[in-house]
Amino acid sequence: MSVANHVAMQATAISANLGSVEVLHSINLSLAKGRWTSIVGPNGAGKSTLLKVLAGVLPHSGDVTLLDQAMHQLPKRVRARQLAWLGQNETSADDLSVWDVAMLGRLPHQAWLAGPSAQDQVAVEQALRSTQAWEWRDRALGQLSGGERQRVLLARALAVQAQVLLMDEPLANLDPPHQADWLDIVHALVAQGTTVVSVLHEVNMALHADAVVVMAGGRVHHHGPAGEPHTHRLVEQVFEDRIAIRQLDNQWVALPRRRMWLTKPMSPHNIARDL
């Protein structure tokens, strides 16, 4: 088997602008097939922009291949069947029912005027059940809380049943039990051979991935296994050493490091001296 067969997505010399500002600077990245890769980095690192470029929803320079095919040459619907994207802070369809929103994930599989097939119905039900959103299937999205809404949007992305799943901040608004459920979903997808790429602010969760991409200032600083000490060191560095990665119960956790001057007693004398 050639090396290319192990790669789900390949980005070469990617640059992208937001307005007139270049936010990604000539990025090269190779994402392993059937693995979970997490992208981490401080605010403004370009993580979401990179994910949008990989999803084909943002103009850019450079080349992206998806499952060994040049992405810009793929027909839109074929690409949509192979790659699903869950965005961050996207507008949400308040008036659509939960079922209808999840069914949108099946659009790439449906002929233009055809209604949902039995297979579509099964895929949507499966996706809604996996995010525990099945019970609200008849409710409007606008009637749900932020966390509930996020679970429906996640179900929409899962319903595509794509070979590559890109998720931008999928844990936004989710409570700890549902964050743990999300981990189970991702591990199950990877076990089935799906390639998962996630942008995460929760470093603890990101360290559960197979590989971590560390970004800062629109560049990739490191791409390596999540369990490696070198990866941990670089993650700590891009966060200005304000976190420390430690092992606890066989899991890697990122602990916050407090600034020294704030750890001192808050007396007027100390504050005046530090300032």
Partner 1 sequence: MNMRQRVVWLVWSGVVSAVVLIGLGVCVGSTGFEDLLSPLLNPQVDPVQTAVAQQIVWEIRLPRTLGAWTAGALLGLAGAVAQGLFRNPLADPYLLGSASGASLGVAMALAAMGGGAGMLGSSVSDSANLVVSVFSSSLWVRVGLTGAAFCGALLAVLLTLALSRGVGHTLRLLLAGVVVGVVLGAMTHLVLLMSPDSLQAMQAFILGSTAFVGWTSTLLMAGVWCLCFVAAWLLARVLDGLSLGDATAISLGLPVAAMRGTLVAVLALATGTAVAQTGLIAFVGLAAPHLVRSLVNTTYGNLMLLASLAGGTLLMAADILARGLIAPQELPVGVLTAVLGGGYLLWLMHRGPNRVAGANP
Residues found near partner 1 in the complex (CB under 8 A): 52, 55-58, 76-81, 83-85, 87, 90-97, 99-101, 104-105, 107-108, 112-113, 138, 140, 142-146, 149, 153, 156, 160
Tokens for 200, please give them.
Answer: 């995460």
Strands 61-66, 211-216: parallel, antiparallel or unpaired by DSSP? unpaired
> What is the number of H-type helices and E-type strands within the chain?
10, 12
- State the nearest-atom distance from the C-beta of 176 to partner 1, in Å: 21
The helix (run of H) or strand (run of E) holding residue 204 is helix 203-206
The residue among 99 and 182 lying less far from partner 1, judged by its C-beta, is 99
- State the nearest-atom distance from the C-beta of 101 to partner 1, in Å: 7
The residue among 88 and 204 lying less far from partner 1, judged by its C-beta, is 88
The residue among 174 and 226 lying less far from partner 1, judged by its C-beta, is 174
The residue assigned the tokens 């095919």 is 69
CA distances from 176 to 55, 143, 160, 179, 212 (A): 28, 22, 25, 5, 22
- State the nearest-atom distance from the C-beta of 100 to partner 1, in Å: 5
The residue among 112 and 265 lying less far from partner 1, judged by its C-beta, is 112
- Using an 8 Å Cβ cutoff, are 210 and 36 in contact? yes
- State the nearest-atom distance from the C-beta of 246 to partner 1, in Å: 37
- State the nearest-atom distance from the C-beta of 58 to partner 1, in Å: 8
CA atoms of 38 and 233, how far apart (whole Å): 16
CA atoms of 263 and 124, how far apart (whole Å): 50
Tokens for 196, please give them.
Answer: 């998962």
Convert 222-239 to b/e letters by CB count within 10 Å (16 or more is b).
bbeebeeeebbebbbebb
The residue among 82 and 130 lying less far from partner 1, judged by its C-beta, is 82
- State the nearest-atom distance from the C-beta of 159 to partner 1, in Å: 11
CA atoms of 268 and 35, how far apart (whole Å): 53
The residue among 14 and 144 lying less far from partner 1, judged by its C-beta, is 144
CA atoms of 272 and 99, how far apart (whole Å): 59
Greatest Cα pair distance, the chain, in angstroms, is 74
- State the nearest-atom distance from the C-beta of 161 to partner 1, in Å: 13
The residue among 92 and 204 lying less far from partner 1, judged by its C-beta, is 92
